[in-house]
Amino acid sequence: MKPLWRTAIILTAIAGATIIAILIFQKTNQPSIALTEEWIATQVRDGDSITVRQTDGSQMSVELCGIDAPELKQGEAPRQALAHEAKQKLLKLITAADNQLMIVPVAKDSDGRTVAEVMAHRQDEAEISFQEELLKSGLAKTQLGGVECPNQIAFEQAQKIAIASKTGVWSQDKRN
């Protein structure tokens, strides 16, 4: 009778542990923003700001995490040309992804926008980071302070490529 009693206790413990594991998994696997669903880009405001929506119609404004692109506003001509070029680069990246983006939320900014890493699948199924592409092209700089992005080290390496090739913002003047 004792082996049967031990088996019952062991099975009960396994069942209990399984139920607890399932409950923990369900709680931790429900992000506030659905990461598994693809977002559709609806607007590009500038080189580091986009608006996206899901199939259910929900929208959000997204600031690309870890970078700062030149702003589209009145100012010196070379800076405005780079701001326009950064926006065009972002538009091209989005178009190449058929407007379907993967958004990895990191934080909310003071204006309520979602600060996120933005990626897409290329045709060869490799992921492409929009931040890295803008940085390698010299159309953005890494943003120090504030939110730390999960791929910040990769962003810094991408910026080093642009600095070494003296492209984009790094071609304008040595004080950048």
Query: What local confidence, expressed as pLDDT, does residue 102 receive?
Result: 92
Which of 4-8, 51-55, 118-122 has the largest mean confidence? Answer: 51-55
In a shared domain, residues 93 and 46:
yes
- Span 34-60, average pLDDT: 85
Q: String of b and e for 79-93 (b: at least 16 CB within 10 Å)?
A: eeebbebbbebbeeb
pLDDT 10s digits, 69-117: 988 776 666 678 899 999 999 999 999 998 999 999 999 988 899 999 9
In a shared domain, residues 73 and 144:
yes
In a shared domain, residues 58 and 117:
yes
150 CB contacts (<8 Å, ≥6 apart)? Answer: 104, 106, 117
pLDDT of 45 over the 80 cut: yes
Domain count, the chain: 2
Higher pLDDT, 132 or 148: 132
Model confidence, pTM: 0.75
pLDDT 10s digits, 147-161: 788 999 999 999 999
pLDDT 10s digits, 9-34: 777 767 666 677 666 655 544 444 44
In a shared domain, residues 74 and 127:
yes
Can you tell me the distance from the alpha carbon of 89 to that of 30, in angstroms, rounded to the nearest whole number? Answer: 33
Higher pLDDT, 175 or 146: 146
In a shared domain, residues 80 and 112:
yes
Task: State the residue range of the domain holding 164.
Answer: 39-172
In a shared domain, residues 45 and 20:
no
In a shared domain, residues 52 and 84:
yes
In a shared domain, residues 52 and 93:
yes
In a shared domain, residues 96 and 69:
yes
Q: How confident is the model at residue 173 (pLDDT cuts 50, 70, 90)?
A: low
In a shared domain, residues 78 and 20:
no
**CATH number of the domain to which 116 belongs:** 2.40.50.90
In a shared domain, residues 74 and 26:
no
Other CB atoms within 10 Å distance of the CB of residue 17: 10
22 CB contacts (<8 Å, ≥6 apart)? Answer: none
